[in-house]
């Protein structure tokens, strides 16, 4: 970045940080003024507001780390990390896009035709795995491992991206040297929960290659259970996965870039809705004096004081 652009970006982040601190102080003081009944009544709205505040804080920290890389590259001794990180990110994104595209083709060519009573159009990746198996079996095993590991990583990333868009889940990002213990536990739990479905899905996607393995025998028995048979016969899970993939891609293409995630207007609107709900219920907060000895009774009064 040029020095002028860097200074401008740094000033914008400082303003965002100051605004977030102000909002956090406002929430804290407003919470202290509530009675126990009032805290219980507004618990859901306050939780949404706290998650939205957490989202904006995490996004600010991410942007600040990226800005520091620009500063180190321009004004300090460049290291291999801050110099090659953008190229590494570009390379990994290309690889990830290629793996996603191959998974999508494998589903459409090999799995989806069975949903309408047909036969697979082509083995596709299975043929490639058989070629690798004839050349060097370890390469075929490593290829399957890469495809399965990619699905699990997408699960962790997808939960975080979903949480950044909607206030349904708390944020648990995995960051270098900054990951909290509870975030590690949540993400490991998410991976463990999704491991069995991922293995089952991979078994179906590569059934022509792993037909003589123990795991294929196990899931074949599960597939023909009385209450499971219609689901697997009509490929309900696969059709749902393809539908969600298409909808997510359309949403990301149409709305992903147009939405400015660093904008604090959503958080301010959440505060207004919390204030409106509080007033609508006709509640009266207990008086609590702040550091200047001024008693506040509404969210708006505290906002004017700040």
**Which residue, chain included where needed, has tokens 């259970």?**
225
Q: What is the pTM of this model?
A: 0.68
State the residue range of the domain holding 132. 91-234
Tell me whether residue 107 is exposed, middle or buried, using C-beta atoms within 10 angstroms of its C-beta: 0 to 12, 13 to 18, 19 or more: buried
Q: Are residues 215 and 109 in the same domain?
A: yes
Q: Is residue 255 part of a domain?
A: no
Q: CA-to-CA distance for 126 and 131, rounded, in angstroms? A: 9
Tokens of 131: 């070629």
Q: Are residues 103 and 68 in the same domain?
A: no
Q: Are residues 186 and 299 in the same domain?
A: no
Beta bridge partners of 56: none
CB 231 within 8 A of CB 114: no
Tokens of 73: 């590259």
Q: Are residues 217 and 287 in the same domain?
A: no
**Eight-state DSSP code of residue 229:** H
The pLDDT score that the predictor gives to residue 269 is: 74
Q: Are residues 27 and 145 in the same domain?
A: no
The pLDDT score that the predictor gives to residue 258 is: 46
Q: Are residues 95 and 64 in the same domain?
A: no
The pLDDT score that the predictor gives to residue 191 is: 86
Q: Is residue 200 part of a domain?
A: yes
Spans in the chain with pLDDT lower than 50: 258, 283, 285-306
The pLDDT score that the predictor gives to residue 239 is: 86
CB under 8 Å to 174, separation ≥6 — which residues? Answer: 156, 183, 184, 187
Rounded (10°) CA dihedral 102, 103, 106, 107: -150
The pLDDT score that the predictor gives to residue 75 is: 59
Q: Which of 66, 69, 94 is nearest to 80 (CA)?
A: 69
Beta bridge partners of 296: 288
Q: Are residues 59 and 139 in the same domain?
A: no
């Amino acid at each position: 970045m040029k020095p002028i652009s860097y200074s401008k970006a740094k000033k914008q982040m400082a303003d965002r940080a100051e605004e977030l601190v102000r909002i956090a102080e406002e929430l804290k003081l407003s919470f202290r003024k509530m009675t126990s009944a009032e805290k219980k009544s507004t618990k859901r709205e306050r939780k949404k507001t706290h998650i939205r505040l957490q989202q904006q804080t995490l996004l600010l920290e991410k942007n600040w780390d990226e800005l520091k890389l620009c500063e180190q590259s321009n004004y300090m001794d460049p290291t291999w990390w801050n110099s090659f990180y953008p190229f590494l990110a570009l390379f990994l994104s290309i690889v990830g896009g290629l793996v996603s595209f191959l998974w999508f083709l494998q589903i459409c060519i090999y799995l989806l035709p069975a949903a309408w009573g047909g036969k697979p159009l082509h083995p596709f990746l299975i043929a490639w795995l058989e070629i690798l198996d004839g050349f060097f079996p370890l390469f075929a095993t490593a290829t399957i491992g890469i495809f399965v590991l990619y699905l699990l990583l997408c699960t962790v990333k997808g939960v975080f991206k979903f949480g950044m868009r909607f206030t349904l889940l708390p944020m648990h990002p995995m960051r270098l040297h900054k990951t909290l213990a509870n975030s590690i536990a949540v993400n490991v739990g998410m991976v463990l929960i999704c491991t069995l479905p991922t293995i089952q899905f991979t078994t179906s996607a590569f059934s022509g290659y792993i037909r003589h393995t123990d795991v294929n025998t196990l899931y074949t028995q599960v597939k023909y259970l009385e209450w499971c048979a219609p689901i697997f016969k009509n490929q309900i899970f696969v059709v749902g996965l393809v539908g969600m993939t298409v909808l997510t891609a359309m949403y990301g293409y149409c709305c992903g870039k147009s939405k400015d995630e660093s904008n604090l207007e959503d958080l301010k609107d959440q505060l207004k809705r919390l204030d409106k709900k509080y007033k609508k219920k006709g509640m009266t907060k207990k008086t609590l004096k702040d550091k200047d000895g001024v008693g506040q009774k509404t969210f708006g009064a505290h906002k004017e004081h700040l």
